[in-house]
A and B are shown apart, each in its own frame.
Chain A
Amino acid sequence: DGGITQSPKYLFRKEGQNVTLSCEQNLNHDAMYWYRQDPGQGLRLIYYSQIVNDFQKGDIAEGYSVSREKKESFPLTVTSAQKNPTAFYLCASSMRGGTEAFFGQGTRLTVV
C-alpha cells in the first residue's frame, strides 16, 4: 500500500525533553515537508527538503531540527527550545517538480 506514514499518532512529552516524529514515504518522492497545524492559524511550514542531504528552513523553524539521510525518511525533532510545542504536525511529500503534495495522517504532540 503506497503512501506517506507518520508515527506515532499521539505523542506525549515532558517539558524539557526532545522528541522525534517519524515520517516515511514509499512514493519515490524527492521533496518532503513538515507543517504545524494550529487552530485559527492554518498550516505553517517548519522545514522542507527538495533532495536527500539537503533541507531548508520554513517559516517557523526555531526549536525544530530535521535530517534527510534517506529519500524515504524525513524525521522531525522537536527540541526543548520550542516554546509552544503542543500542536498537530503534518508531513507531506511531492515529486520535486510535481504539483501535488501527499499528506500523512498527522501526529498530535502534547507537552505535559
Chain B
Amino acid sequence: AQRVTQPEKLLSVFKGAPVELKCNYSYSGSPELFWYVQYSRQRLQLLLRHISRESIKGFTADLNKGETSFHLKKPFAQEEDSAMYYCALKANAGGTSYGKLTFGQGTILTVHP
C-alpha cells in the first residue's frame, strides 16, 4: 500500500524567512512525487514534480529515497505563498495500483508580513 504523510497541519513563518514543508512516503515500487498547491478560492494545481528537478516560484523539492522524503523548501517566503500544500505520490506501472494518485493530509502555510 502507498501512503503519504505530512506531519504539520499548520506552518507559520514571517516574510523573508526560510520555509520547509515536510513530506514522507511509503511505497514498495519506484514512485513519482509531486507537490500541489491550493491558493484561496482557486483550484488545486500542480506546483512541481520530482522528475523535472525544477524550481517553481522559488520552491524546490528533492526526492530522498533513503529517507523516503520529498520535502518542499523555499529560502525566502513571500506573503503570496500562503496556501494549502499537498504532497502526492503516483504509483507506477507493474502493479495493480498503477496510476493511483495518493495525497497527504495537507499543510496550511501562512506567511506573515
Contacts and interface: CB of A to CB of B under 8 A. Distances in A.
B105 A99 contact: no
Given A100-B49, A103-B43, A42 B106 contact: yes
Nearest to B42: A105
A32 B103 CA distance: 15
Interface residues of A, number: 24
B104 to A, nearest CB: 6
A35 interface: yes
Interface string B40-52: 0001111001010
B6 A42 contact: yes
A99 B44 contact: no
Interface string B12-54: 0000000000000000000010101000000111100101000
Interface stretch (A20-28, A43-51, A69-77): A43-51
B93 to A, nearest CB: 8
Nearest to A38: B105
B106 A43 contact: yes
Interface in B73-113: 86, 88, 90, 96-106
Nearest to B45: A103
Contacts, number: 52
Interface in A42-93: 42-45, 48, 50, 56, 58-59, 90, 92
A99 B86 contact: no
B9 interface: yes
B100 A101 contact: no
A58 B100 contact: yes
B103 A35 contact: yes
B70 to A, nearest CB: 14
Contact of B103 (A40, A43, A94, A100): A43
Contacts of A109: none
